[in-house]
């Protein structure tokens, strides 16, 4: 049965460890990623893609700093929007090409996405997320004075700006995303966790100097588009308990209660696996059918129930076997879905 699937792409879907981030490198990685996503579309699913942007927005911030003598630097929210456009454009090209190869006439569109945060969020009192270039102490002091930035010394490597990472509250463009998805297009949205905005006087939206976790934003997106499945694709096939420690155990099917218990025991690291598990839990607690955490290359197998860390919600109880047309066996080019 066709599903609406939100696919959250991790950093490795766009840039591999050790790469500098040339256009060619990123295009090639995204081409590989697009092949996996196209297979979901070919299986008849409605697909919404979201993605991280850490290295990309980092490079854009370096360009702002290095170019600041020649052209005015843009603020963080604008840099985030730039990264959404750039990555979305590459995904449109690569996914478009894959879909044509499969004989599918499915449009792909990127929507610059704003995500509402609450200015009262405790995260604003304690900025934790390092962004952008490393600075000398002198330059760091200048930036603190000129822009009011918060700067932290980073393990002897220099000074770095830190920004808050507030919880995402709502996806501003959700209604338009829903209608574009309903039209049959593949939508790319909420890249980099979305551009954080606060609701100001008279309901106007104002960009905020912060970074939203992309997995938590993916959950909001999945909820607001009414997705059946949230699949978080990263560089490990499953989440583990006792990760990289004696007794390491990779997790397959989990109940909500089991996952919450492991989370409470501190098995999932903050800033990496932690937000993925939290996003998965929020999704199924909010009525989602299935949340999956797996690696990019195992996406289809995980949807088919063959691997990945999978958490099912109550909605999935009566829907056993829906995986049948999906997965390695059921892979097909579904013309005129």
CA distance 35 to 250: 26
Catalytic residue, chosen from 80, 88, 192, 214, is: 214
Rounded to a whole number of angstroms, the minimum distance from the CB of residue 73 to ligand ADP is: 26
258, 252 contact by CB (below 8 A):
no
Q: Note whether 308 binds ligand ADP by CB under 6 A.
A: no
Out of 269, 314, 328, 337, the residue judged to bind ligand ADP by CB under 6 A: 269
* Residue in this structure with the two tokens 């600075």, named with its chain if needed: 135
Q: Note whether 243 binds ligand ADP by CB under 6 A.
A: yes
Q: Note whether 254 binds ligand ADP by CB under 6 A.
A: no
User: x-or-dash pattern for ligand ADP, window 270-289, by CB under 6 A?
Assistant: --xx----------------
Rounded to a whole number of angstroms, the minimum distance from the CB of residue 86 to ligand ADP is: 17
- List of residues 6+ apart from 224 with CB closer than 8 A: 170, 171, 174, 177, 178
Q: Note whether 10 binds ligand ADP by CB under 6 A.
A: yes
Q: Which is nearer to ligand ADP, 268 or 283 (CB)?
A: 268
Q: Which is nearer to ligand ADP, 63 or 272 (CB)?
A: 272
CA distance 171 to 289: 20
Rounded to a whole number of angstroms, the minimum distance from the CB of residue 234 to ligand ADP is: 3
The two three-digit tokens of residue 320, written as one number: 């056993």
Catalytic residue, chosen from 276, 308, 313, 327, is: 276
Q: Note whether 167 binds ligand ADP by CB under 6 A.
A: no
CA distance 239 to 268: 8
290-295 and 4-9 beta bridge pairing: unpaired
Is 238 a known active-site residue? no
Interacting stretch for ligand ADP, rule CB under 6 A, among 69-77, 115-123, 184-192, 229-237? 229-237
Residue nearest to ligand ADP (CB): 10
* Residue in this structure with the two tokens 């822009």, named with its chain if needed: 147
Write down the H helix ranges in 148-247: 174-182, 214-224
CA distance 13 to 163: 24
Q: Which is nearer to ligand ADP, 143 or 162 (CB)?
A: 162
Tell me which residues in 35-64 interact with ligand ADP (CB under 6 A). Answer: 52
Q: Note whether 28 binds ligand ADP by CB under 6 A.
A: no
Is 11 a known active-site residue? yes
Q: Give DSSP secondary structure letters for 308-325.
A: SEEEE-GGGGGGTTTTTT
Outline where DSSP puts E strands in the chain. 4-9, 46-51, 108-111, 114-116, 129-135, 150-153, 159-163, 170-171, 186-189, 195-199, 205-207, 229-234, 240-241, 249-250, 253-254, 290-295, 309-312
CA distance 294 to 258: 18
Rounded to a whole number of angstroms, the minimum distance from the CB of residue 130 to ligand ADP is: 14
Interacting stretch for ligand ADP, rule CB under 6 A, among 22-30, 39-47, 57-65, 234-242? 234-242
Residues in contact with ligand ADP by CB under 6 A are 10-11, 52, 234-236, 239-240, 243, 267-269, 272-273
- The residues annotated as belonging to the active site are 11-12, 129, 214, 276
């Amino acid at each position: 049965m066709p599903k609406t699937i939100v696919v959250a792409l991790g950093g490795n879907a766009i840039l591999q460890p050790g790469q500098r981030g040339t256009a060619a490198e990123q295009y090639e990685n995204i081409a590989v990623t697009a092949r996996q996503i196209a297979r979901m579309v070919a299986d008849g699913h409605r697909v919404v893609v979201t993605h991280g942007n850490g290295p990309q927005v980092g490079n854009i911030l370096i360009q702002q700093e290095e170019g600041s003598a020649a052209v005015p630097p843009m603020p963080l929210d604008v840099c985030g929007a730039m990264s959404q456009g750039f990555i979305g454009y590459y995904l449109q090209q690569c996914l478009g090409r894959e879909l044509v190869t499969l004989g599918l006439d499915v449009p792909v569109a990127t929507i610059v996405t704003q995500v509402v945060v609450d200015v009262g969020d405790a995260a604003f009192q304690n900025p934790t997320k390092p962004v952008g270039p490393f600075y000398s102490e002198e330059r760091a002091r200048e930036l603190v004075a000129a822009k009011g930035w918060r700067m932290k010394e980073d393990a002897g490597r220099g000074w770095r700006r830190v920004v808050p990472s507030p919880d995402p509250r709502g996806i501003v463009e959700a209604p338009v995303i829903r209608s574009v998805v309903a039209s049959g297009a593949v939508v790319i949205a909420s890249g980099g966790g979305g551009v954080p905005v606060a609701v100001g006087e008279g309901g106007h939206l104002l960009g905020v100097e912060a970074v939203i976790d992309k997995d938590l934003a993916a959950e909001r997106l999945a909820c607001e588009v009414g997705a059946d499945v949230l699949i978080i694709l990263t560089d490990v096939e499953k989440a583990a308990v006792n990760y990289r420690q004696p007794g390491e155990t990779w997790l397959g099917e989990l109940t909500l209660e089991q996952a919450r218990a492991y989370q409470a025991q501190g098995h999932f690291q903050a800033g990496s696996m932690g937000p993925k598990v939290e996003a998965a839990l929020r999704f199924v607690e909010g009525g989602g059918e299935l949340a999956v955490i797996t690696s990019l290359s195992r996406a289809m197998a995980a949807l088919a129930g063959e691997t990945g860390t999978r958490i099912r919600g109550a909605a999935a109880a009566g829907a056993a076997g829906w995986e049948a047309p999906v997965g390695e066996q059921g892979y097909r080019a579904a013309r005129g879905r």
